Amino acid sequence: MIVTVTPNPSIDRTVTLPGELTRGAVHRVSSASSEPGGKGVNVARALALAGVDTVAVLPAAEHDPILAGLQTAGVTVHAVPVAGAVRTNLTVTEPDGTTTKINEPGAVLTVAEADALARAVTERAHSARWVVLSGSLPPGLPPSWYADMVAILRPYGCKVAVDTSDAPLAALAADLDRAAPDLLKPNAEELAGLAGVSAEALESALARGDTGPVVRAARRLVDHGVGAVLATLGAAGAVLVDADGDWLATPPPIRPRSTVGAGDSSLAGYVRAESAGAGPPSRLQMAVAYGSGAAALPGSALPSPAQINLDDVAVTSVRTTPAERRSEGAP
């Protein structure tokens, strides 16, 4: 079973414009949709479409609309009762795939609600292969919450993945001795911040076809205890680094329609492949196939297995052995 944890879920409202977004102008939309969202919720939705045994843990009041949306999507949910309403996030997409997001902060969690959320996670960790901790944190949870949960989950025997940003990601990175997850999924900007390097430098290197700076940045995290780093790089694909090797996957050419949920879909693809017994290159291949599949769909739609194409994703080994890494002077 896969347990996804979304401390700050949302109703994702997506509007599609027929032309370019102009600040200060009045626009008419060509389509609009609303879906249950939040990063962990998106992972759960993608896994449910693939028939993977999944439960989504999130805070929500008994009759919050997000619960009806998840039921319609076929996602098993454990909702921790809270007083506040789930936030609404707005995404504006343009014909060329450009995405503008406007996110609410989320309802404040009380101390009792936060404790109940943590208990709900640990109660399900015993039977989980993966616990996926994803997204921003709502007001009321400290930036260290993900690091604290990783440390708490260590004795449970499950694998733990984390996909977050900003202060929660910085807090986790500062506490890897205690709370290194089995999988960390940053994007290029987040990876640059973790490694203390320029995001522009990483992106410039990628534009030249040079994955070395990305691999070295990810390798630093693995050397500090992270089991594997799945760095999603947009149109450049993704890099996977673990103790045994480094791999690059390049996606097929697609016409991007919306980037909403693409990174979450990549994480779902990785976890799905690992749970099926796939090795690292195949996990990366499925991750990139899922991410590309999501980017080719409108709004916040997520891909089913029929909408991904593994054969179109090329995976190559960047550096294959510890000896090769040492010979290149990697930290």
- Give the CA radius of gyration of the chain: 19
Catalytic residue among 53, 242, 264, 311: 264
Structural element, H or E, at residue 263: helix 262-275
Return the ∠ at Cα 134 (arms to 132 and 140), rounded to 5°: 120
Strand-by-strand arrangement of the 31-37 sheet:
31-37, 10-16, 87-93, 99-102
Instruction: Identify the bridge partners of residue 16 per DSSP, sorted by sequence position.
Output: 31, 93
Q: What is the largest CA-CA distance in the chain?
A: 59
Query: Minimal CA–CA distance to 19: which of 103, 95, 98?
Result: 95
Encoded tokens for 312: 């179109």
Structural element, H or E, at residue 33: strand 31-37
Instruction: Identify the bridge partners of residue 100 per DSSP, sorted by sequence position.
Output: 92
Residue 264: active-site member: yes
Q: Would you list the DSSP string of 41-64?
A: HHHHHHHHHTT--EEEEEE--TT-
| Pairing between β-strand 99-102 and β-strand 10-16 as defined by DSSP bridges | unpaired
Strand-by-strand arrangement of the 183-184 sheet:
76-80, 54-59, 2-5, 130-134, 159-163, 183-184, 228-232, 238-242, 246-250, 314-319
**Residue 23 CB contacts under 8 Å (≥ 6 apart), including other chains:** none
Encoded tokens for 50: 């693939």
Catalytically active residues are 264
